[in-house]
Amino acid sequence: MKVLFVASEADGLVKSGGLADVARALPVELIKDNVDVKLLIPCYRPLIAQDYPVVADSVSVQVNMWDKFGCRFRKTELDGLTVYLLEHNVYFDREGMYDDGNQAYEDNGLRYALLCQAAFSLCETLDWFPDVFHCNDWQTALLPFYLREHRQFDARFNQAKTVLTIHNGAYQGYVPKHYLTNMGIHERFFTDAVFESYDQINLMKGGLIFSDHVNAVSPGYKDELLADETSHGLGYFFRSIQDKFSGIINGCDYGQWNPEVDHALPANYSAEDLSGKTTCKTALQQEMGLPINPDIPLLGNISRLVDQKGYNLLIPAMRELLSQQDVQIIVLGSGDPVITADLHSLQHQFPDKFAFYKGYSVDLSHRIEAGSDIYLMPSIFEPCGLNQIYSLRYGTLPVIRKTGGLKDTVKSLALNSSNWKTATGFGFEEQTPEACLKAMKQALKVYLEKPERFKHMQLTAMAKDFSWETAVKPYLKLYKELTD
Ligand code: ADP
């Protein structure tokens, strides 16, 4: 079985969110199951600076009938996985991956069209032709279209199957329609049944139509994509492809996320001996400039600062909690300027209780996972979510909104606590700050008043196994079904 994984980011090289974690961990796991898998991502500015070895120079990639783009392939490795980097400096030597910090690049359609077409050029360069092209999100959603429309008479490719994994259905890749021809999409495909949405090109829609299989990254999110209210406007579209649509929960890369061996931590710990977690907590308090006291409950949150993550619920709930109780809260994130300003204002209001680190820091994210007692994840929607899974392994009980993958991975404590022996976190449903605050208080009550019970829940959480070793199985089965 040969699989080319094509993605727009990969952990260890360039990362903005969970897609990067999956683009690394899933292929690495597939290798262990004897799949011949390679990964292709763009060579963005920070990667150009690394000067990875060139495997092919002056490769001509054709995107439409006329235009050929001179590209280069470089190569590197992640945990034994060969990663090819597509170098085209006009398109990828830029400040950001998808935007300039404020606005999406206007030519994103062309940039990722090039990535999709380059996937075929890479195969030609390597003389290696996959059974499956595994695409991820809108950035690579054009590949199945190109395979069926541009490569239908090419015997090296036309037996290959395509899988499109939806990591986040809210980002659909809207492109102005005047790019149609330049992207090699004939006007006849610019209809509501294929690429058109609101008079623009919607890349994800085309991907849904042309892929041989589509999967969401959790069964819960799959169900949400099939329902009108929670499908980001594409419910009718997802329902129309139901027979090739599934939900497969992500795994967790315990090679990166394991408190027993995590190098980013000041102390390691395990379910057998949690004492290192207290060291992590006090070190984190010190690092973030908060009073050092292991007895004060510490709540953590790490995220892209976007509306999806529920800051409209969390910020008022945190303000209320901070004014009422002796707690500490740490937030690590970057993104939306309005959310950023609100978090700065909380920090000014509660300097001894609230710390906000604006930015992106993988090491600090590990230390927050380890040093906090409770993790906050009140997302409005969550395709799978990884931080709650990391939190479980780090014994940091998550407070979640019961949606998508959060609901699938965290077992919330009942209001009457009847299920405390099996629960792994705290949940709420209603999209209100009050409901969010209530769940946070429920967590704090157990932490403060029933420490033995809290510890039992920590141990239950730490024993949960979301390893890729298990999570990879449905993908293996899917590849086999598609290619048999
Ligand atoms: P999403 O993909 O929607 O961003 P996930 O929970 O699936 O959400 O994955 C987020 C990943 O990105 C996690 O690995 C998380 O630790 C990481 N992350 C998000 N924001 C930051 C940040 N500011 N600093 C470090 N890591 C971050």
User: Do 232 and 298 fall into the same domain?
Assistant: no
- DSSP secondary structure, 61-124, as one string: EE-SSS-EEEEEEEEEEETTEEEEEEE-HHHHSSSSSSBSSSSB-TTHHHHHHHHHHHHHHHHH
In a domain, 265, yes or no: no
DSSP letter string, 144-180: HHHHHHTSTT-TTTTT-EEEEEES-TT---EE-GGGT
Question: Is there a domain that residue 269 lies in?
Answer: no
pLDDT for res 167? 97
Q: Select from 336, 365, 390 the residue to mutate for testing ligand 1; criterion: most ligand atoms less than 8 Å from CB.
A: 365
Q: Give the residue whose CA is nearest to atom 9 of ligand 1.
A: 18
Residues 473 and 458 in one domain: no
pLDDT of the residue at 101: 83
pLDDT tens by residue, 142-199: 999 999 999 999 999 999 999 999 999 999 999 999 999 999 999 999 999 999 999 9
Burial class for 306, CB neighbours closer than 10 Å (0-12, 13-18, 19+)? middle
Domain range enclosing 27: 2-251+468-483
Q: HSE-up of 427 (CA within 13 Å, CB side)?
A: 21
**Do 283 and 243 reside in the same domain of the chain?**
no
Pocket around ligand 1 at a 6 A CB cut-off:
17-19, 21, 168, 302-304, 332-334, 360-362, 365, 384-387
> Quick check: is 264 in a domain?
no
Q: Which among 375, 369, 386 has a CA at the least distance from the CA of 218?
A: 386
What is the side-by-side order of every strand in the sheet holding 196-197? 174-175, 200-202, 196-197
Q: Is residue 212 part of a domain?
A: yes
C-alpha span between 135 and 154 (Å, rounded): 20
**pTM of the predicted protein model:** 0.92
On whether both 227 and 362 belong to a single domain, the answer is no
Question: β-pairing, 213-216 with 298-305?
Answer: unpaired
Q: In this structure, is residue 74 part of a structural domain? A: yes
Residue nearest atom 12 in ligand 1 by C-alpha distance? 17
**How far away, in angstroms, is 304 Cα from ligand 1 center?**
6
Query: Does residue 256 lie in a domain region?
Result: no
CB within 8 Å of 82: residues ≥ 6 apart: 38, 39, 75, 76
- Is 335 in the same domain as 209? no
Q: What is the pLDDT of residue 102?
A: 83
Instruction: Please count the structural domains in the chain.
Output: 2
Same domain for 224 and 280, yes or no, is: no
Residues 472 and 458 reside in one and the same domain: no
The residue type found at 353 is K
Domain match, 342 and 358 both: yes
Distance from the alpha carbon of residue 379 to the mean position of ligand 1, in angstroms = 13
What ligand 1 atom has the least distance to the C-alpha of 387?
6
Q: How far is the CA of 126 from the centre of ligand 1 (A)?
A: 33
How far is the C-alpha of 266 from the C-alpha of 262, rounded, in Å? 9
Residues 291, 434 within the same domain: yes
Given a cut of 70, the residues of the chain with pLDDT beneath it are none
Residues 113 and 246 grouped into a single domain: yes
Whether residues 290 and 221 share a domain: the answer is no
**What does the pLDDT look like over 416-449, one tens digit per residue?**
999 999 999 999 999 999 999 999 999 999 999 9
Residue 369 lies in a domain: yes
Residue nearest to atom 4 of ligand 1 (CA): 17
Residue 70 lies in a domain: yes
User: Tell me, what CATH number does 86's domain have?
Assistant: 3.40.50.2000
Q: Helix 451-463 vs helix 433-449: angle between axes, to the nearest 10 degrees? A: 110
Is there a single domain that holds both residue 414 and residue 327? yes
